[in-house]
Amino acid sequence: MKKVAFFDTKPYDRTWFDALGKNYEITYFEEKLNHHTAKFTDGFDAVCAFVNDRVNALAIERLYNNGVQLIAMRCAGYSNVDVKAAFQKLHIVRVPAYSPHAVAEHTMGLLLTLNRRLHKAYNRTREFNFSIVGLTGTDLYGKTVGVIGTGKIGRTFIDICRGFGMRVLAYDKFPAKDSGLNYVELDTLLRESDVISLHCPLTPDTRHILNRDAFSKMKKGVFILNTSRGALIDSEALLDALNSRTVGGAGLDVYEEEANLFYEDRSDTIIHDDTLALLVSRPNVILTAHQAFLTEEALHNIAEETIKNLDAFFSGAPLENEICYLCDRDKAGHDCRKTRRERCF
């Protein structure tokens, strides 16, 4: 039976992995995977990692020396993995789609909460304060939403916005073919949108795609939504845009320096991150702790697809969800995913 080291474990992870991973000997670690905790993997065949694990070159070297063959990411993103360092040492697989509805619906929840001040109303009525002064929102109907990134999650969010009668503008470096979406240049989207929602992966091109220059081009009072990756937004620039009222509100499920904070109870801890503290203090900022994926359906799908990835690797079957350094670097035709035996290892 193959042995899998499962890092950054939470109770909700074990429910489905215990049910679906009976063919593997899974050892659960609460610690995040990094170059220190990689020492725990001696004798394991694979590791299972998540969004805030730090799988850098040193961690990969230690995994490789311990005999680990596979890094199974139980998430879609892999910007926290040094894929170049892993090249020709470790295979990497991911879960490219688990529930686009989960993330898209959470994004709309953030927008509705911001717009109608539901968080403020909730706090007031718990104190029997039934005043509605200061809770005025706007109709979403007829407003323009700009969606940056039109993969499965982005398109699902677009469908939801269309249900509200919103006008949709889209931007993507690789537009979805035959989608019927109204693709525009990024500057046009920034200039015309009442709401801007991020649904793109974190790459060198998209890092801080919303920076000071981008905020300077936006409508006064725009809402910003990010349920993708924290570093898509320059947090200090966002704070300044909030202070100048260029941004009317921000709904964030991610933060660029979240790795050592999110998924843990820090309520008794002094947070030494002034930018985060200031963002949380703003009445027009809603921050959730990277929970947009957290539905029963998504958790089931994550576990199911991760186990399928493990099964494929250890049986020698083609790896449909493999991450390859050359494939990611060379988008102009190189593709080793057809069969692992002919890949660029």
pTM of this prediction exceeds 0.85:
yes
Q: Which pLDDT tens digit goes with each residue over 48-68?
A: 999 989 999 999 999 999 999
Catalytic residue at 258? yes
Mind spelling out the 3-state secondary structure of the chain? CCEEEECCCCHHHHHHHHHHCCCCEEEECCCCCCCCHHHHHCCCCEEEECCCCCECHHHHHHHHHCCCCEEEECCCCCCCECHHHHCCCCEEECCCCCCHHHHHHHHHHHHHHHHHCHHHHHHHHHCCCCCCCCCCCCCCCCCEEEEECCCHHHHHHHHHHHHCCCEEEEECCCCCCCCCCCECCHHHHHHHCCEEEECCCCCCCCCCCECHHHHHCCCCCEEEEECCCHHHECHHHHHHHHHCCCEEEEEECCCCCCCCCCCCCCCCCCCCCHHHHHHHHCCCEEECCCCCCCCHHHHHHHHHHHHHHHHHHHHCCCCCCEECHHHHHCCCCCCCCCCHHHCCC
Q: What is the pLDDT of residues 143-169, one digit of tens each?
A: 999 999 999 999 999 999 999 999 999
Write the pLDDT tens digit of every residue in 65-106.
999 999 999 998 898 999 999 988 999 999 988 899 999 999
pLDDT > 60? residue 339: no
Q: Is 94 considered catalytic here?
A: no
Which of the residues 229, 256, 305, 322 is marked catalytic?
229
Identify the active-site residue in 94, 290, 305, 322: 290
Q: Look at residue 335 and tell me whether its pLDDT is greater than 80.
A: no
**pLDDT, mean of residues 318-334:** 66
Which of 106, 199, 256, 258 is catalytic? The answer is 258
pLDDT band (50, 70, 90) for residue 15: very high
pLDDT digits (tens, 9 = 90+) for 278-300: 999 999 999 999 999 999 999 99
Q: Is 334 a catalytic residue?
A: no
What pLDDT score was predicted for residue 327?
A: 63
